[in-house]
Every structure is written in C-alpha cells, then in structure tokens.
Amino acid sequence: EAGVAQSPRYKIIEKRQSVAFWCNPISGHATLYWYQQILGQGPKLLIQFQNNGVVDDSQLPKDRFSAERLKGVDSTLKIQPAKLEDSAVYLCASSLGQSGYTFGSGTRLTVV
Amino acid sequence: SQQGEEDPQALSIQEGENATMNCSYKTSINNLQWYRQNSGRGLVHLILIRSNEREKHSGRLRVTLDTSKKSSSLLITASRAADTASYFCGTGANNLFFGTGTRLTVIP
C-alpha cells in the first residue's frame, strides 16, 4: 500500500511570498488532515476534510491560509502571504473511519 | 484545550530497560492513539485504544487507558536504540489533537 505523498519536501521562501503544498492521501481514505508542526512542538491541526467537504477548520488562520480538496482526493494547502512564524513542517495525514492516521513525511517550510 | 499532554517531556534509558510515558487529556474521547516520530519524519501510528478498552498490546508495546482519570500510558519493554524517537498521544472526539510529546533516548 502506497503511503501519503507530499511535495515538495523542502521549501524556502521570503516573507510575504506565497507557497503551496500538495498532498495525495492513501487511496480510499475519505478523511484528510493538514497539521502544522513548529520545531519542538506537537502537530497542530489546521484543517480536516471529509471527502471534499471541510469538517473542521477552526484553527486555520483564514486571513492567510487556504486549503482545498477537489474531487475528494488530492489536497493543496496555500499560504499567502507568508510570515516568519509560518516556518514549520506541514504534515498531511489521511484516515479511514475511526482507524489510525497515516502521515506523510511532511514539507519543511522556512520563511526568511 | 482538547489536546493530550505527554509526560515526561524527555526520558533517557539504557538499551534493554523498559520505558513508560504518560498522557493526560481533558475532553471526552472515542479513542486514544499513540504515535512515534523519528527526527525529520512524519508520525507513525503505533496503537489505537478505544474508550471502552482498558489495555491493549502490540509486540513490545502495552497501552493502558483510564477514562475516569482521563489518562493513558505507553510502555515499551526491552527497549532498543531504534526506539529513540518522540512519542505523541492523539486525543479528541472527531479528530486528533497532540501535545508536545515525550522525547525518548535509548542509549546502546
């Protein structure tokens, strides 16, 4: 079974620039999550999708972050404009029902 | 806060010893999940325990859950150097919230 794919693996941008991350979940997993993990901290949930609908985006900074999951499969997370404090690893995960989550390797974002 | 909190923050043991880490949470849960994260990698699912279960085993892992105390523990027996990682508990009703984790170092 293929895992959760994320790209790019690393990204360095200047503050105020835009960036987008891509995630391809495990085939058949209806639920997809984006987490932000700042160095030394645990993952923080940004948004949860069920198929192509948003279930929970209460912790997503909507003034600069946006996410979509077209056709209920792949998802993109965008930051526009980026701030220094957005430097973190962005993790995508997927799950089926009440099972454990499968995480991707993440995208490490550095904002300079 | 919906997140679980792991304790201790850091733990260092000799190879072959047992490692115990704890998780406390505040809200109702459907299940509680433990994950491992190696440096620079994503989280790997270890074990899921449902709210109506009290104990679960998987290989060298033993997880307990006490819903009356809103706490869980993860025991790793006969630790190996490869167990060196950060361990997180995930709690929540419809999605998972994580604490800051326990950083385990197993010394060969």
Q: How confident is the model at residue B30 (pLDDT cuts 50, 70, 90)?
A: confident
A20: Cα within 13 Å, side-chain hemisphere: 7
Residue of B105, B98, B92 whose CA lies nearest to B29: B92
Residue B33 confidence (pLDDT) above 80: yes
B21-25, B53-57, B88-92, B104-108: which range is least confident on average?
B88-92
What one-character-per-residue DSSP string does chain B give? Answer: ----EEE-SEEEEETTS-EEEEEE--S--SEEEEEEE-TTS-EEEEEEEETT-SEEEETTEEEEEETTTTEEEEEE-S--GGG-EEEEEEE-SSS-EE-S-EEEEEE-
Q: How confident is the model at residue B106 (pLDDT cuts 50, 70, 90)?
A: very high
Q: Tokens for B28, please give them.
A: 């109702």
Dihedral class, residue A9 (left if φ above 0, else alpha if ψ from -120 to 50, else beta)? alpha
Q: Which neighbouring-strand residues pair with A93?
A: A33, A103
Sign of CA dihedral A68, A70, A76, A78: negative
Q: What is the mean pLDDT of chain B?
A: 93
pLDDT of residue B23: 95
Q: Tokens for B75, please give them.
A: 């025991």
As a whole number, mean pLDDT of residues B37-66 equals 95
Nearest CA in chain A to B33: A100
Residue B92 confidence (pLDDT) above 90: no
pLDDT of residue B32: 93
Contacts 24+ apart (CB under 8 A), A56-62: A56/B94, A56/B95
Shortest distance, CA A94 to any CA of chain B (angstroms): 11
Nearest CA in chain A to B41: A105
Q: Tokens for B91, please give them.
A: 């709690």
Q: Tokens for A97, please give them.
A: 């029902």
Residue B1 confidence (pLDDT) above 60: no
pLDDT digit of tens for each residue in chain A (112 aa)? 679 999 999 999 999 999 999 999 999 999 999 999 999 999 999 999 999 899 999 999 999 999 999 888 999 999 999 999 999 999 999 999 878 999 999 999 999 9
**A40, A42, A56: residue with CB nearest B95:** A56
Contact B98 A42 (CB under 8 A): yes
CA B46 and chain centroid, separation? 8
Residue B27 confidence (pLDDT) above 90: no
As a whole number, mean pLDDT of residues B40-68 equals 95
SS3 category, A36 = strand
**B33, B40, B97: residue with CB nearest A100:** B33
**B42, B94, B95: residue with CB nearest A103:** B42
Which residues on chain B place their C-beta less than 8 Å from a C-beta of chain A?
3, 30-31, 33, 35, 40-45, 48, 88, 90, 94-101
CB B23 within 8 A of CB B49: no
pLDDT of residue B2: 61
